Amino acid sequence: MPEVQTTVGVIGLGSMGLGMAQTLATKGFRTLGFDLSADRRKLAEDAGVLPQSTIADLVAASAFLVFSLPTAQDVRSVVEGHLDLLKGKTGQRVIIIDTSTSEPDVSRDLAKRLEALGHGFLDAPVSGGPAGAASGKLTMMIGGSEEDLALARPVIEAMAAKALHVGPSGAGNVAKLVNNLLAAAHMITTSEGLKLALAAGIDPEAALRVVNAASGKSMISEVHFPTWVMSDRFDSGFSMGLMRKDVRLAKKLADSTGAQLPLAEQVASLWAGSTELADSDDFTRMGAFKAKN
């Protein structure tokens, strides 16, 4: 259990950030929170988090900062907007734990700039969804220095059941993009497999039981299809817009590295071309095999 004076500031109180902030508060950290939405700040306050009226107030008071933001540009904007404040925090190494699905080059640049000011930056995207955030059972893939990871470990272990140090700055982002590219592909391939079973006169639920007992299974087939697709709930808490962004970033990474990924090209095309689904729709709707032509 952390000492009461250990203060963690959480920036971004969406479906993931709010759960992480609540978990940190429950586990004994003095937890501050900021979000642009007054409604999200109120929800955080109800969960034992101390809402802050500005990011600057939160940064000034925190030893650790947890980011849960939509894009790499948002992460860069928050850091760059508060560099002077961080520069003034001498004698205390502030560690930023960026749980956003960001871009490797952005993380590397920010880590370098913060290191020059005596502070640390870990790219630490997560898997596990809102339920994992609220229960402290996320999987976190981490890029950054061993020294900063050691300092941040009490905070990370409060939020994550599994914390995997992948390598230097940017490595966590790369691992997350690989993971989400595979999840996006599995959503399509599982949907098409069940569509084939249905067309051939086999009960899709029976076919899914076979898949999950054999070599075709994945987390998508084992968890997402039974929970959110077969039930027609489509409320996993992860949006089409976010998955489209992640697939787009994975394709951008492939293009920049020269990796030849023909199947990934097709996956990216299918996610971008699914215009019947809005960005606000749950990403599990991509698996609605009975509605597809």
Q: Is 288 left (phi over 0), alpha (psi -120 to 50) or beta?
A: beta
The residue from 27, 42, 162, 176 that is catalytic is 176
Cβ of 48: how many Cβ atoms within 10 Å? 13
Tell me if residue 176 is catalytic. Answer: yes
| Number of residues assigned to the chain | 293
Provide the 3-class DSSP secondary structure of residue 278: coil
CB 221 within 8 A of CB 255: no
**Helix 171-199 and helix 240-257: axis angle, to 10°?**
120
Inter-residue long-range contacts of 268-276, CB under 8 Å, 24+ positions, other chains counted: 270/188, 271/184, 271/243, 271/244, 271/247, 272/244, 272/247, 272/248, 274/240
Residues catalogued as catalytic: 176
